[in-house]
Structures are given as C-alpha cells and as structure tokens.
Structure 1
Amino acid sequence: MVRGHPSGATVTLDALTPLLRCPACGAALSLDRVPQPDPEAGDCGVLRCPCAADYPVLDGVPILRTGRLDRRSIADDLVLAPGPDVAAVVSAVEAGRALGALVDLLAAPLCPWPLNRVGAGRRLSLLGPLRSAGLALRRRRVHAMLRHRDGLTAEDWLATFYLHAPEVYDPFNYFFFRFGTPRHLATLGLVSALPADASPVLDLACGYGHLAHTLSALGRAVVGLDQNVHQAWLARHYVAPGAAFVCADASRPLPFADAAFGAAVCSDAFHYVRDKGGAVAELDRVSAGGPLLFPTVGNALVGSPDGHELAPDAYRALFDGWHVRVTSDDAVFAHYREGLGPDLSGPDADVDGAKWLAIAATKGDPDCLLRDHGPLDAGPGGWPHAAGRLALNPLYEREPGGDRRALRMPSPWYEAENGGVREYMPAVVGEGEALTTALVARAAAVGLPERYARPRRPWTQRADRALTRAVRRVRG
C-alpha cells in the first residue's frame, strides 16, 4: 500500500521548482518571486527560462502554458470567457497586478439561475453585452470571495464556478460529491498498489485534487497537473493544500525533469487524451519507467464513446516493452469493498465487455506491482477513503424536523452515474451518530479536506434540485 513518508507529505513551491522544466525547450527554470501589494494575491512570481520564455506563478500555482488561457465549459467545451494570454499574466505579475489576473482566471460569466438550466438561456448569456455584464458581476463576486477566502470552503467555490455559470449543474455534483463514489473508490483501490516510496507521485489531469488529497493525507508527496487554472487553484488551496499543482497542457511535453517522480496516476481522464502514445512516452520519461496507473479508462467496445476511447487490445499495444495488466474498474472496486487491494497477478481477464477499465504498467520489477495486493492497510480501519478529517459523506442531508440524515441523490444525472452507492451506503444515519468503523467501511463516513463542505446545503442548491426534478417530470 502507498504509505510514503510523512516528511514528504507537503510539497512547497520551493520544493516544486527544481522539478519543473520549460515546456518549450525542456530547460530548467528559475523562480523570481514578485511581492504583490494585495495580500490576497498570495505567493506570486515568474518562472524564467534561458530560452527567454517566462511563465507566471499565481497564488502558488505555476502556469506552464502558452497562448490564451480561456475559461472553458467542462460540460461541452464552450469558451465561456476568452482569457488573457500567458504573456499578459506575466506582465501583470511583474507590475504588481497579479490579483486582477487571478480574478480574471477564476471568473466565468454569470448566468442567473434558473436560466443556466436551459440550453437557450446558457447560450444567451454568452452573447456580447450579456457576457460582458455577467463577467463584470462575476469578477466583483470573486474579488470579494478572495478577500474572505479563509472563511470559505471548496463547496463555496464550486458553487460559484457552476451554479450561476453557463454550465449544466452536473459538474458541481460530479466534483463535489466525488468522495465515496464507486469511481473514486475504484481509483483508490488501484492506487493502493503503489509501492511505498519517498519520491513524489504525479497526478495527471488531477481535476480538483480529490485523489491528491487522499495521497497527501496518507503521507505521500503529490504534484497535480491540470490544464484549467481554476481547478489547479482550488485543489491547491482547499482540497489538497499539502500537494503542489501545476497548470499545464498534458498534450504537450510534460513540464517536468526526467525521473522527477516515483510513479504517475491518470484517473478518469486517459480516454480524453488524443495522443496516448505520446502521453505514455512522457510519463515514462518523468517517472523513469513507472509504475503508471490508469483507473477508469473508457472502453470503445462498450456503449457510446466518451472522449477518444480505445479497445482493450489497443490500450495494451501502447505499452510495448512494459509489464502491463488490464482489468476492469468493477473488479478493482469489488476487491476494494472487501477491504482488499487489486489482484493484478494476471493473466488479464476478458474485459472486452467492461465499460470502464483499469490499467497498471511498469518497466521495473513486475512482482512489486503486478501481484495480488491483499488486505488494505492505510487510513482508519485500513480504508484509504478515510484518510483526512473523518466526516459524514456530504451525500447525506438532514431530514426536515427529524433526527436522521438521509442519503440523497443531488440530480437525475448523478443518480444514473453513481446510483451504485445505494448498494453499500445505508439509506439513513442518525443525526450526530458516531463515525464508527462500520460507517467508514460503507463509505458513509469519509476523510474530507479541512475546508471542503459547508455545515448544510445552501437553499440555492436545494431549489435547483427541486426545479430539476420538476422539469424532468414534465419532460418525462
């Protein structure tokens, strides 16, 4: 089981900088810190390369990208707001205006609820004058939130990013309620196969840092990479503050030194990568032959393609010269529910009929990775998902006037994607019930970041759910 070393649980910007490389030429970068007049701008600076390329650091997050930093919709990749280019952000940092650049990169156009639930309303909010007005209001809101950032939670920011933005609401549910879902637990099951190592782990396409939170809480040094500034920023400050995060494009050469990491994980994202062969080659370079883990990879043979899926044999072909095992998420999850790590001893089972695959590969000793990993041994009671501040799963809501909390699905989409939680989570728990080992074993209690969830759901979320259900009934 990945236990790591407590001394490696926190990755500071100073510790991260020697691992970074210029994505254009591959040279080492030097950090030039630039103090800002606004304390809410955080730790800012410029990473300078001998090739004359400069990259900004905003609030502790290096942005190793080129071109324009557009704010895009996760739902359908619409450009919600054209962002500044990287050179403009560098200039803003050098001129002491980093806070304005940070606000711009965290702000998306405002689309008043419930118009953001309607496709036409969403598109309407992106038209010239409406988008300009929405962005101005959003910037004021984000600026105010940054002034009070220490009193906010990840939930507050996710609601700001999605509830009143021209997005469908499900991205909020997908990210906020991720802890304890079958997909996340399967990821933790596969990642439990990582051997203990003081070297950091690369979390590629890290999203909002849910996996990084668990690995960091278990004492492993983690560096996350995502192309979205707002995801890397929220992960760094609210979800996994012990880890370091970099905003960069995974489709380009990874901005890291050779052998910078002891392992790499790409969870629920590898099927979106176009050049998978190039990605494997880059992961090989930065991890010196792995191990590499890919939980939740889409299978092109089953259902509608999601992203750029391949068939299982095509995934295997990417790892020529590697020791590789392809199994299914369902198999890994079934073992995890029994308190076991994955059985990677092989040979590969027939997974052609499985929609979601799990891939493990290494160029090192295969017996360290490709074996039956047996009982879990991390976190309270041996459960990795309990690492962190133990709390009731946010899917449980207080019943009106009652002394119980009930398991509630936040949306029809979430029910369709994650309804399997009902198979292992109890339908109700007592108000104030002790967070026992039994609740942990059923993922009704999970380890959360310190500043993750509000004590109770805001009325806006409850109203949105009620409207969603009413619309579905009418359409149905």
Structure 2
Amino acid sequence: MRPDTLTILRCPYCGGRLTVDETVFHRFDDDAAIDAVLSCQCSQFPVVSGIAVMTVEGVAETAREQVADGDPAGALRTMAGGGDEGAADRFAAAIASPSATYRDVVDALGPEFAEARYFLYRFSDPTFLVADAVVRALGQAVLGGGGRAIDLCGGSGHLTRTMAEFTPSTVLMDWTFVKLWLARRFTAPACDAVCADAHVSLPFASGAFRLAVCSDAFHYIWTKRLLSAEMLRLIGDDGAVALTHAHNSGRDNPSAGMPLAPDGYRALFEPLDSRAFSERNLLADVLAGRIDLSRRDDERSLAADPAVTIVASRRDSVFAARPLEERRGVRGELRLNPLYDVSRTEAGATLRLRFPSGDYEREYGACRTYLPDELTLDGSVLSAVDKSRLTEAVAALLSRRIVLDLPEGYA
C-alpha cells in the first residue's frame, strides 16, 4: 500500500487516521506497506500482501495477530480462505506455481467462486463494454488534471484496470479478500486494494477521490442510501459518481439482488445533476464507436431495460458525447476470447461460441450482437494473436471482442 493511499485511509468505526504500528512486525517494499498493522484510536487493522483489511469482523482479527507475530504467509492463507480450510489449501497450492494464471487460481477455488462463473469472461461481456466506455468518458472529464479514482465493490479489478489508464492513483475496494489479491497479482497490479464492507461507512477521507464507480453491485447493497451518500462524500464538489449495470426492479433478472426503479437510483444522488441511461442505448453507442452522456433517455426506454447506468456530477463537462479512443497498441497480451471453443487445424482454427451457463447466457446474451456464433480464422491471424502482434486483421477482431487484450498471466 502506497503512503499516499495510507494518508486517505480512515477507520470505518471512529473515522480516525491510521498509522503503521512499528512496535510489531512490519514489512515494506521501498515505501509501500506489504505486511503491517495499522492503528487508530479505537482499533487495529492488518495489511496483508499489500491489501489493507479495514474490518475487525470474520477472520481479520486472526490475520492481524498473525501479521503482528511475524507470520505474513499465515495471514495470507487466513484471509484467502476466509475461514474455509479447503479453500485456503487450494489457494496455497495454486499460487505455489510461479506460472499460475488468473484462470488457474480461479479454477482452484472451485465452481462456486464468483470469478469462475462471471469475471473470467468479464472483458467481453456487454455490461463491461458499457462500464468501460462510461469510465473512459468520466476519466476524460474529471481526471485530466489529476486526482484519484475508486472502484467500489470492484471484484478482481477489471474496471480498475481501465481507471489506471487515467490516473496512477487508483483504489479497488471489495469485501472478498481473494478477489483483491487476484487484482493485485494479475488484473490491476498498479492499484491499491482495500478489503472493506460497502454496507457501512467507507474507510476513506472526504473528498479523497474525483471519480467513484460501483459496477454491477449496487443492487446487492441493502444500505443504498448510506452507500450513495458515502460516494458523494468521497468525490467532494468537483467529481463524478457512476453506477453501471444497476438492475431495474421493474424487469426480471437472473440475479436481481435488491434493485430499485431508475428514478429510485437517480434520486439517491440529488442534489447533483443525476441522470439515468438505458444500458441498451449505451451499448448501441459503444458498438457505434462513441459514448453519449449528453442525452436524456425517456422513461419508456428506461422502464423497458433490465439494467441502467446512473451518472451524477456538478460538472457540465461530464454530460457530453465523446468518440471512443482508437486502440494504440497492445497493453497486455492478446488471446482468443475464452467464450469460444477453439478447434485448431494446420490451416487455422474454427471458433464456436459457448456460454459457461444458462444464467450467463440469459444475462449477457447481448454479446451475440458482436460475437458471432461461429467463425474461422486462418493461420496467419492466429500466429499474430499468439505473438500479440497488432495487425489490421487482429485489430478488427479486437474491435468485436473476438480477440481480447488481456492482462499478462490472465488465461
């Protein structure tokens, strides 16, 4: 954890500032805390593998004791297992291999782990395409002069990776420690990660961020009024907040959570200029190479859409139409989309679209608007993909998400 992030951390219980307890074991890499104990006036919290654990619930207290006693490996095992010894064993076995990928670790954690059913395919699902475009638009609008961004309930950091293109000061927060570990190891290694509960006060100073985003998670939060107020507190007077893929209570959804109607979400962010956007309309924008936050979708469009996006800010520049930036090289490594079964031959390969589950297809089936059910690639294209070379043909496949620019070691 970088020292500049430590300066904005606050105790979620007393609101106090935090300092490293130098009387017990602590380990730094340059000036970044890797394993340590943080103290305020009321509590102590562990930093485990660079991740600040801002709660005293669950196994956090055990992990704190292990760090203080000089056993950071034990603390990592404790937090990764979350009280499940079997999960802790599988995690430890998976990460023991230096060649382990994101997919290897996810597979080791078992089929019930959310990333196995959802996040592994995240970079090409339609909700991510929309969220990615919204974050890029907001990043241009509010992060151009510097400032921090936070990805709330951000899982294993897929959207955090996008934020990091606009600011080096990105923070990922989630309640599940192992997701944060995956983010720092694979998906968004430059971020700082905080393990905390979004149902209570957020462990950050007021005005610490310019951009706060919660993607595909707000409908699972019971204390929505508190979280929305906390998001507004974090961005101060000059930032922006966004909820992307917020489930609509008026429509069916395979994993509905506790959704609101579009007006209900929008009202939570008053008195800022708070607007609701149809996710279908935003996806159409993205597929046309643009993102338009200047329009006001009519109530019929919003009511008919299973999910909406909410954007709120006092800055007029946020609500603008922008072209999506053209790709300027390969950021990670090129891979064929893992939603495809690939049958290779000497001449090339045949790709067939296969969804991991019926629920996934029902919720993310709109990807068929840009992912064909079947296609054939010749050997020269496959060779370019395998070598992460951005040819004209590969760029066309990237634009349709048939080929993905994935973090190194992802799959």
Q: Is the 8 A contact 1:336 1:342 kept in 2?
A: no
The one-character-per-residue Cα deviations of 1:83-121 (angstroms, maximum 9, x if unpaired) are x2x222211101112211211322379xxxxxxxxxxxx
Match of residue 30 from structure 2: none
Q: Is the 8 A contact 1:212 1:240 kept in 2?
A: yes
Match of residue 406 from structure 2: 448
Match of residue 105 from structure 1: 79
Deviates more, 1:329-338 or 1:210-219: 210-219
**Cα displacement (A) at 1:219:** 4.9
Match of residue 45 from structure 1: 36
The one-character-per-residue Cα deviations of 1:368-408 (angstroms, maximum 9, x if unpaired) are 1122x231126438xxxx75434332223320556314133
Q: Cα gap change, 1:311/1:387 in structure 2, threshold over 3 Å: closer, same or farther? A: farther
5 Å-filtered alignment, 1:324-335, equals 324-335=274-285
Structure 2 Cα separation of the partners of residues 241 and 249 of structure 1 = 22
**TM-score, L = length of structure 2:** 0.86
Q: Is the 8 A contact 2:123 2:158 kept in 1?
A: yes
Q: Are positions 1:406 and 2:397 aligned together?
A: no
Match of residue 154 from structure 1: 102
2:219 to 271, 275, 278: 271
SS state at 1:28 partner: coil
Match of residue 9 from structure 1: none
Q: Cα gap change, 1:27/1:348 in structure 2, threshold over 3 Å: closer, same or farther? A: farther
The one-character-per-residue Cα deviations of 1:3-54 (angstroms, maximum 9, x if unpaired) are xxxxxxxxx5323211111111111111246347xxxxx92001111x1410
SS state at 1:345 partner: coil
Q: Are positions 1:175 and 2:115 aligned together?
A: no
Match of residue 19 from structure 2: 30
Match of residue 387 from structure 2: none
Q: Is the 8 A contact 2:45 2:52 kept in 1?
A: yes
Match of residue 210 from structure 1: 158
Structure 2 Cα separation of the partners of residues 320 and 314 of structure 1 = 11
Structure 1 Cα separation of the partners of residues 82 and 13 of structure 2 = 29
Q: Is the 8 A contact 2:333 2:407 kept in 1?
A: yes
5 Å-filtered alignment, 1:60-99, equals 60-68=50-58, 84=59, 86-99=60-73
Q: Cα gap change, 1:139/1:193 in structure 2, threshold over 3 Å: closer, same or farther? A: closer
Structure 2 Cα separation of the partners of residues 17 and 189 of structure 1 = 29
RMSD: 2.4
Match of residue 198 from structure 2: 250
Q: Quick one: higher RCO (CA 8 Å, sep 6+), 1 or 2?
A: 1
1:54 to 44, 49, 63: 44
1:338 to 280, 288, 291: 288
Q: Percent identity at matched positions?
A: 32
Structure 2 Cα separation of the partners of residues 232 and 157 of structure 1 = 13
Structure 2 Cα separation of the partners of residues 387 and 299 of structure 1 = 34
Match of residue 312 from structure 1: 262
In the alignment of these two chains, the number of paired residues is 383
Q: Is the 8 A contact 2:168 2:190 kept in 1?
A: no
Query: What is the letter of the counterpart of residue 74 of structure 2?
Result: G
The one-character-per-residue Cα deviations of 1:440-473 (angstroms, maximum 9, x if unpaired) are 21111222111211xxxxxxxxxxxxxxxxxxxx
Q: Which ranges in structure 1 are unaligned for 5 or more consecutive residues?
A: 1-11, 37-41, 69-83, 110-134, 454-476
Structure 1 Cα separation of the partners of residues 353 and 85 of structure 2 = 35
Structure 2 Cα separation of the partners of residues 317 and 452 of structure 1 = 39
Structure 2 Cα separation of the partners of residues 273 and 327 of structure 1 = 20
Decide which structure has greater strand share.
Answer: 2
Query: What is the letter of the counterpart of residue 65 of structure 1?
Result: T
Q: Which ranges in structure 2 are unaligned for 5 or more consecutive residues?
A: 28-32, 385-389
SS state at 1:420 partner: helix
Q: Is the 8 A contact 1:390 1:446 kept in 2?
A: yes
Structure 2 Cα separation of the partners of residues 62 and 54 of structure 1 = 11
**Cα displacement (A) at 1:355:** 0.9
Q: Is the 8 A contact 2:14 2:42 kept in 1?
A: no
**Cα displacement (A) at 1:343:** 3.4
